[in-house]
Amino acid sequence: MASNAKKGEKMEENGKTNERKKDGKSVLEWKLNNVGNPESIVIYPHTRDGHILTKILFGYDKVINGARLAAGNAAFPIEKLKEIEAKIDIFKIHTTRLLNTLGGNGHGMFGNFLFLNRTDTLETKRMLAANRKSYVFIPRTVQGREMAQTVKTFDSLWTQFRVNVPEMGKIEEMQREILKYIVVFHGLTDGINNQIRLRKPYLPPKGMKKIENMVQAYETKVQV
């Protein structure tokens, strides 16, 4: 009986492994099939924070698109869309400050690097898309396209910052600011999501609650 139970557990685990492999293969096929889209942007983060921002990005683009499509009806008047756009403008200022602090020297300003993706050849995009840790993002909105390039710029600057800054304390301080930024980005996205009805609503990336708790604990410590 014990032997049969172990065999059953092993078969179940093998089944789960095969499902993961199948899912991974499906994702890879989708990425390679869509990377040829001229609107596609391939994001290959080298930092944990870059991965989290990318995952939020997909929801951010979707909820903004949903808000634009819903605007004008009785449940979602134009005024609500204007309020969302005002919040996005404030978020852009926050974003620019963060990138400049990381060493962007003004290149993080929205609009200045919108066409960086055009320097990626199709061959380069295919090579990056083949990596299981990369993402192929096809923006539905201008805001989504801007943020995708922001994430790519952020990830590069954050990697360089950690390598080049001699004081470990500076890295720790910057990490706290980045975690705060992630919470703000998630909050903006989740706030828009809660105002509209989507068939597949935005879901926070795994570990988001832990990040929120870390930021809250740090801010409480500072206040004390």
Q: Which amino acid is at 56?
A: I
Q: How confident is the model at residue 223 (pLDDT cuts 50, 70, 90)?
A: low
pLDDT in tens, 149-179: 999 999 999 999 999 998 889 999 999 999 9
Measured between alpha carbons, how far apart are the two ends of the chain, in Å?
59
Write down the pTM of the prediction: 0.83
Q: How confident is the model at residue 221 (pLDDT cuts 50, 70, 90)?
A: low
pLDDT in tens, 12-54: 444 444 444 446 679 999 999 999 999 999 999 999 999 999 9
Strand partners, 137: 41
What is the chain's mean pLDDT, rounded?
Answer: 86
pLDDT in tens, 51-77: 999 999 999 999 999 999 999 988 899
pLDDT in tens, 109-152: 444 443 344 458 899 999 999 999 999 999 999 999 999 999 99
Q: What is the distance between the alpha carbons of residues 169 and 181, in angstroms, rounded to a whole number? A: 19
DSSP 120-176: S-HHHHHHHHTSTT-EEE--SSHHHHHHHHHHHHHHHHHHHHHHH---HHHHHHHHH
H helix intervals, the chain? 2-34, 48-70, 78-99, 122-129, 142-164, 168-193, 208-223
Give me the pLDDT at residue 17, please: 44
